[in-house]
Amino acid sequence: MNEQRQQATRQHTCERCPLRPLPIFREFAESELDFVASFKKGELTAERGASVLIEGSHNAHLYTVLSGWGFRYKMLRDGRRQVLNYVMPGDLIGLQGTLMGEMQHSVEALSPLLLCVFERSKLDQLYKCHPGLAFDITWLAAREEQMLDENLLSVGRRTALERAAFLIASLTMRAKAVGLNGNAAVGLPITQQLVADTLGLSLVHTNKTMRKLADRGLIRWRDRGCEVLDLDRLRDIAHSEFPAETKRPLV
């Protein structure tokens, strides 16, 4: 397993954060921005395959993804893995460990990750002095719950084809909202094994299902990833409502 690496200096100040100009994120009041700048301790880089957070561990920090992809997962004792969700720029990770004492899941880098590091000890001050930021953190936690609801619905009730279409469509929409891949076609850095662990299917069943989507011209598999060719038809197959992305917090 690759190691994560802590940077000694900041590459990005909060005032010049590359995510803030994106229209998906709400604007900060000057006092909020000043506090977040003091809240930030530094930055962390993690290579593909590195563990950012480990289930059962204690961690003194919270993280916001600045660039790259990752995924949350849990493992059974015999090594079987369930992928819970995926993390992208703007997502907050580590809150669970802050509130529950230890992490209840792990987070692994799916591509090179850059994360902003925040001191957990200042979280009380955030809630006391900055109710707007406190609401933001609550909103992010509620959004994570909403995504897990959809994932549970997929595993419990959607067909294999619907599960795959929903996963790829939802990841594509999230990626576009935060500017991943710019104006190019969205490429998802996922493997078929990762898809299988997300959807609760065998690798053989996953391969057959993804081949059906590829044969219909909806996706194309590349080295270490999947290229989305027809998002609208994927959404149709998923038989799900996809609410429009609205302004969201960025901590």
Walk me through the domains of the chain, giving residue ranges and CATH numbers. Answer: 3-144 (2.60.120.10), 151-238 (1.10.10.10)
For residue 205, pLDDT beyond 60: yes
Mean pLDDT in residue range 69-90:
95
- How far apart, in whole angstroms, are the C-alpha atoms of residue 154 and residue 170? 12
What confidence tier does 192 reach under pLDDT thresholds 50, 70, 90? Answer: very high
Mean pLDDT in residue range 56-75:
91
> At CB < 8 A and 24+ separation, what contacts does 220-225 make?
221/192, 222/187, 224/189, 224/191, 225/187, 225/188, 225/189, 225/190
Mean pLDDT in residue range 58-74:
92
185 touches 228 (CB < 8 A): yes
What confidence tier does 7 reach under pLDDT thresholds 50, 70, 90? Answer: very low
Predicted confidence (pLDDT) per residue in 209-240, tens digit: 999 999 999 999 987 799 999 999 999 999 88
Predicted confidence (pLDDT) per residue in 20-47, tens digit: 999 999 988 899 999 999 989 899 999 9
Tokens representing residue 134 in the block: 């406190």
Predicted confidence (pLDDT) per residue in 121-176, tens digit: 888 899 999 999 999 999 999 988 988 898 888 888 999 999 999 999 999 999 99
For residue 9, pLDDT beyond 50: no
For residue 81, pLDDT beyond 90: yes
> At CB < 8 A and 24+ separation, what contacts does 124-132 make?
125/35, 126/35, 126/39, 129/35, 130/31, 130/32, 130/35, 132/29, 132/32
Paired with 114 in beta bridges are 45, 67
pLDDT for the residue numbered 183: 57
pLDDT for the residue numbered 1: 44
E strands within the chain?
Answer: 4-7, 40-46, 51-53, 61-67, 70-75, 81-87, 92-93, 106-109, 113-119, 187-188, 219-222, 225-228
Report the share of the chain in percent with pLDDT over 90.
Answer: 58
For residue 178, pLDDT beyond 50: yes
For residue 88, pLDDT beyond 50: yes
Which phi-psi region, left, alpha or beta, contains residue 230 (left: φ > 0; alpha: ψ -120 to 50)? beta
- How far apart, in whole angstroms, are the C-alpha atoms of residue 204 and residue 60? 41
pLDDT for the residue numbered 4: 52
For residue 77, pLDDT beyond 90: yes
- How far apart, in whole angstroms, are the C-alpha atoms of residue 147 and residue 123? 24
More confident residue, 5 or 89: 89
More confident residue, 179 or 1: 179
- How far apart, in whole angstroms, are the C-alpha atoms of residue 39 and residue 162? 42
pLDDT for the residue numbered 79: 92
Which phi-psi region, left, alpha or beta, contains residue 214 (left: φ > 0; alpha: ψ -120 to 50)? alpha
